[in-house]
Amino acid sequence: MKKHNLLLFLLLAAWAAHAQTSTKKYVFIEHFTNTKCPNCANRNPAFYNLINQYPNDIHHISIHPPYPYNTCGLYQANPAENSARASYYSVFGTPSIAMNGALQPSSNPLLSNATLQNFLGQTSPLWLQVSESGSGNARTVTVNAHSLGNIPTGAYKLYVAIVEKVVNFAGGNGETVHYDVFRKMATDINGADFTPAAMGQSVSASFNFNISGSWNANEIYTIAWVQNTATKEVLNSGTRFDPLVTSTQEPAPQSIQIQPNPASEVAFARIGDDTAQQVEVFAVNGRQASVTFEHAEAGAIRIPTATLPAGVYFVKIRGEKGVYVAKMVKN
């Protein structure tokens, strides 16, 4: 019991110390695939099934290099830039993935849950706030880069890609639906020069682009990311769909109780007259669990726990008025 209370204390201290200096680091996945490639058709479904379990944590873009077939229709739509992004990572085969700028070893499955878990739950001192405007085919994307903490020293580039969320296309390998398809860059393919702002400040950049007549305008959006030119590490990424970070001054968390505790099928947390906006559940090793929540009644949050393995967890609730944490045991 003392050990778990100490862990709770350390977790409280860590959240308080980092509340003003970091934000969620999205898992940015560059997915190299080809519409003529049989291996892609075999491995992509499981890959999509996995990443679709984490819609609030992952930014995904599918890029179509000429490997193994340069007759791929989505490659032919933009050969130069599809090839350039693959060459950036020395990709010469599909399917392949790069995660936050690190090319992953070829494997089957394309991405395992264990590998993905290693990238989830990370934080970044940089928050990219992306907005889009315009009407018809003329659009503008604006990226506000907020330095919440000290940005590591390095040479950085800002990239903004134009992406089509769903493309219906029978390319020859059996796949007929393609997701987050890279269409072209709003920046140069080699990125735009980027100098981070000082801690607590932000810099902004805007880029104009036109929607091609062959694209579905209703499915078009942009993904922005900042990447270290030396290491290829992606500092963070952003889209217009991301939740708005309303303040970098997150209050120190308050300790609350979970009932019943130990929990079996469901647990309840009470936060007074506050309203929960986000609930996160962490195992004692710091790994985040995937949970949903609902408001049971005023000030009460219902947290399903049936799918959690037995063990000790820490629950973090972000409300409209404050942040709350509790220790929870799952039978």
Q: Are residues 166 and 259 in the same domain?
A: no
Answer with the residue of higher pLDDT: 222 or 248: 222
Domain boundary (200, 216, 239) is at 239
Portion of the chain with pLDDT greater than 70, in percent = 90
User: What's residue 326's pLDDT?
Assistant: 86
Cα torsion at 224, 228, 233, 239 (round to 10°)?
-10
* 1-5, 137-141, 163-167, range with the lowest pLDDT: 1-5
pLDDT of residue 256: 87
Based on the fold, state whether residues 144 and 274 are members of the same structural domain: no
Structure confidence at residue 244 (pLDDT): 66
Range of the domain at 312: 2-19+250-330
Contact by Cβ (8 Å): 138, 213: no
Q: Does some domain include residue 52?
A: yes
Residues in the chain: 331
* pLDDT the model gives residue 5: 55
For residues 277-304, average pLDDT: 79
What's the mean per-residue pLDDT of the chain? 89
Checking if the pLDDT of 322 tops 90, the result is no
- 84 and 175 fall within a common domain: yes
Q: Which of 242, 156, 243 is nearest to 197 (CA)?
A: 156
Residue 23 or residue 215, greater confidence = 215
**Residue type, position 299, single letter:** G
In this prediction, what percent of the chain has a pLDDT beyond 90? Answer: 67
Question: What pLDDT, on a 0 to 100 scale, did the predictor assign at position 248?
Answer: 45
| Predicted pLDDT at 299 | 80
Residue 270 and residue 142 share a domain: no
Task: Determine the pLDDT at residue 34.
Answer: 98
Q: Which of 49, 54, 52, 47 is nearest to 31 (CA)?
A: 47
pLDDT on residue 16: 47
pLDDT above 80 (res 21)? no
Q: Bigger pLDDT: 226 or 284?
A: 226
pTM for the complete prediction?
0.71
Predicted local distance difference test score (pLDDT) of residue 8: 56
Highest mean pLDDT among 3-12, 27-36, 191-200, 243-252: 27-36
Report the C-alpha gap between 143 and 22 in whole angstroms.
Answer: 18
Instruction: Say yes or no: 132 and 215 in one domain.
Output: yes
Do residues 174 and 258 share a domain?
Answer: no
Q: 182 and 66 share a domain?
A: yes
- 28 and 149 housed in the same domain: yes
315 located within any domain: yes
Whether residue 132 is predicted with pLDDT greater than 90 in this model: the reply is yes
Q: Are residues 129 and 259 in the same domain?
A: no
Q: pLDDT by residue (tens digit) across 60-108?
A: 999 999 999 999 999 999 999 999 999 999 999 999 999 999 999 999 9
Give the closest residue to 68 by CA, choosing from 92, 97, 98, 100: 92
pLDDT in tens, 242-269: 976 644 455 667 888 899 999 999 999 9
